Structure 1
Amino acid sequence: MGNVRLLEDQDFKDYARLSLEAYPAMYPKMSEEQIDGWIKRMQAQQAEKSDIQYYGYFDGDKLLGAMRTHTFTMNVHGVDMLAGGVGNVCVDLTHKKEHIAKEMMQHFHGLYMDMGASMVLLWPFRSDFYMKMGYGYSPKYNKYMYKPSDLPRGSKEGVAFMTEYDVDDLLECFNRYAAATHGMIYKKRRFFERFLQRYKVVGYRNGDRIEGFMGFNFKKLLPDHPLLQNIEIEYMIYENPTALSRLLAFLQTQLDQVDRLEFLTLDDDLHYVSSDPRNGEPHIFFINQESNVQGIGLMYRVLNKRLFFEKLAPHDFNGVSLRVKFNIRD
């Protein structure tokens, strides 16, 4: 059995190598300069003892596996709970099937149990692997693909591109939405600093408050066709119907240079915003035409069962009170 511990500065070069080998399709070809910058950012996070930390599985001095942990605050039925997340779980390709990932996950669970977290969560590479560890599925993620011309026309008043000067207002908007929405995880300021680097960000401002925003990128459809593209919207947050209508009006006006708008969202009812809810694919089953596709995303595990229900004591389960017995096998 190896040893799981926090990575030290000299370990991050091997961590980067393991990550690139374990997820070659997720990490595009990176230059040495890009890898060096990535390593320095991780070392800085580790030194700051931030809510993102890096652990490794060692056999002696050799790094054979690694993972990244996240510490969150999560809204569970209106109750803010401490939660842990794990990502980038990777194992040396020459040491797979040696229970290294299992031992790292057990360390992760113990770490957050000691911290007093009620829940842990992750994006699975293999959902069946994590089901065996007691994780369950989240609601399905949706992908809708609508033509801009099928969205409602309307006013774009208050809509503008966001800049680094809007980071604090974006953070406040998101966290107000998170505080009102079951299952949401509160963000930190640095998330939006990176968010503005990764996406084109358009927001709706009402007076001195941002009340809705979206993060999107243009997606080229054919390598040899410079004029055929979609807009892929990975984030869309809105606090009220006006914010939604202003953001949709902005998207509707992109019809001259965009084929379809790809919405990635947990919203099961987004098809109501389009005059034609079909997603452009000729798929039909029992006279039902495809409006969206779905996928399994996040998985959750209730880590500390007693603490979880103690934290939920203020929640009203629709006026129902009953006694439940759980038979737990872990």
Structure 2
Amino acid sequence: MYSIKKLNNAQITDLARIRANAYPAIPLPLEKHAEIMNIQNEYDFMNFYGLFSEENLIGGMRLHDFEMNLLNQKIFACGVGSIAVDLLHKKEKVALEIIKFFIYHYKERGASMALLYPFRPDFYKKMGFGFGTSINQFKIKPCDLPKGNSKKNIKFLSKEDAEEMCRFYNSIVNITNGLIEKCPKEFESLFNLESTKIVGYKVDNTILGYLVFYFQKGETGSFLVNDIFVSQMLFKNSEVFLELMTFLNTQSDQIRYVIINTHDENFRFALNDPRNNSDRILVSVHHECSTQGTGIMYRVINIPKLFEDLKDHNFNNISCKLKLSILDSFIPENGGSYLIHFNNGNSLLVENDDFDVELTMGIADFSSLITCAADLKSLYKYGRVQLSDEGYLNILNVLFSSDEKPLCMTDF
């Protein structure tokens, strides 16, 4: 029989050994793994749990408490990371038990949404996690970035700016679907890596945007060929954006490419030339301009609690009586049919059997739909959902739509 419990510091060192073997591509000594994992002593929203077979630790994970903006409503959500299984106990359903514990642990604590970054998207989709917004990686010559009239407000930031960076970031969380609140310590940690550089748009003591980046050598290894890799970019408005881009544009004398990761596929419209210099031509003369990757995954773990969390959200002024039938083989009690009456966009779960249309889908696709990572028309087109009356497709597509897909700038 397996048991799972929170780990003390000594047990975290044991889990570090398992983690080091589970992630051999991370070139860190065991002591460094243990040092990184001791962060649970610094953050009260982050804890390590281990799975034991009798008295032997054979796997573990890191759990995160989150305050997340979902459709402009602050909800309690949860995340899991650093899932590791002892090499001697692979294929013994250890990871399966870890994820089940994670879901039930937070369901009991009142969370409605779970998040993770998948090493195997197919593995977690079978467990009911739906795809989130993709990342687009652009590889641009500095001269092809927009150049504004000024970069006078761009300054290098230091650890003393961490609290102000956090204040600015959390102000964007309040208006951005999907973002997760952070604390100043998380920004302080950005300055601990010597290779990381951070510039910000700063007027007096107020930060209205920032870039987190580092330099990397080109493939040849020549010290004369260097790129800038932008890992984070956040800005309040177009004026701030243009000054940040001007800063990058003016690095063209020493920088070959600027590599930017962004959730926004429309970033290409800001560029003079969006091509990534691969010289690849796709079908019918389409130039490759970015590389796309799927990452963050979402899972609704308690549907009634979710609609309680979203009680103040307006579902685009739609009035409709919906029977939502959810298939969830991993957490069966989360599946079943729910009657939701929408009145001018306000939602209410009801007990009667009065409905206009039935929408049937798996929990993974529903999780992508409710976060607005996917739209209903696309899911219907590809056969991922069933409707009892196709005439309601446009109505329900509007009901579940948003003008922005969910963003996630939290690594865990």
- Specify the TM-score bucket, using the shorter chain as the normaliser: over 0.9
- Deviation string, structure 1 residues 107-159 (Cα, Å, up to 9, x no partner): 11111111111100000011111111111000111000110011122311111
Q: Contact 1:83–1:120 (CA<8 Å) still a contact in 2? A: yes
Q: Which amino acid aligns with 2:312?
A: P
Q: Using CA pairs under 8 Å that are at least 6 residues apart, name the structure with larger relative contact order, 1 or 2.
A: 1
State the TM-score, normalized to the length of structure 2.
Answer: 0.76
State the TM-score, normalized to the length of structure 1.
Answer: 0.94
Distance 1:314 1:43, change over 3 A: closer
Unaligned 5+ segments in structure 1 are none
Moved beyond 6 Å, runs of 4+: none
Unaligned 5+ segments in structure 2 are 333-412
- Deviation string, structure 1 residues 211-244 (Cα, Å, up to 9, x no partner): 0001001111236411211111010000111110
Correspondence list, 1:134-283, <5 A: 134-154=128-148, 155-198=150-193, 199-222=196-219, 224-283=221-280
Determine the C-alpha separation between the residues in 2 that align with 1:24 and 1:103. Answer: 23
Determine the C-alpha separation between the residues in 2 that align with 1:137 and 1:190. Answer: 29
Q: 2:294 aligns with which of 293, 296, 309?
A: 296
Q: 1:43: Cα distance to partner?
A: 5.6
Q: 1:103 aligns with which of 75, 97, 113?
A: 97
Correspondence list, 1:101-140, <5 A: 101-140=95-134
Match of 2:255, SS state, is coil
Q: Contact 1:143–1:292 (CA<8 Å) still a contact in 2? A: yes
Q: Contact 2:128–2:299 (CA<8 Å) still a contact in 1? A: yes
Give the aligned partner of residue 316 of structure 1.
314
Q: 1:326: Cα distance to partner?
A: 2.3
Q: Contact 1:12–1:43 (CA<8 Å) still a contact in 2? A: no
Determine the C-alpha separation between the residues in 2 that align with 1:38 and 1:175. Answer: 25
Give the aligned partner of residue 19 of structure 2.
19
- Deviation string, structure 1 residues 56-109 (Cα, Å, up to 9, x no partner): 000122110010001100001110000000001110011111011111111111
Q: CA RMSD in A?
A: 1.5
Give the aligned partner of residue 2 of structure 1.
2
Distance 1:123 1:59, change over 3 A: same
Determine the C-alpha separation between the residues in 1 that align with 2:268 and 2:181. Answer: 27
Q: 1:54: Cα distance to partner?
A: 0.1
Q: 1:35: Cα distance to partner?
A: 4.3
Determine the C-alpha separation between the residues in 2 that align with 1:272 and 1:86. Answer: 35
Q: Which amino acid aligns with 1:18?
A: I
Determine the C-alpha separation between the residues in 1 that align with 2:34 and 2:49. Answer: 19
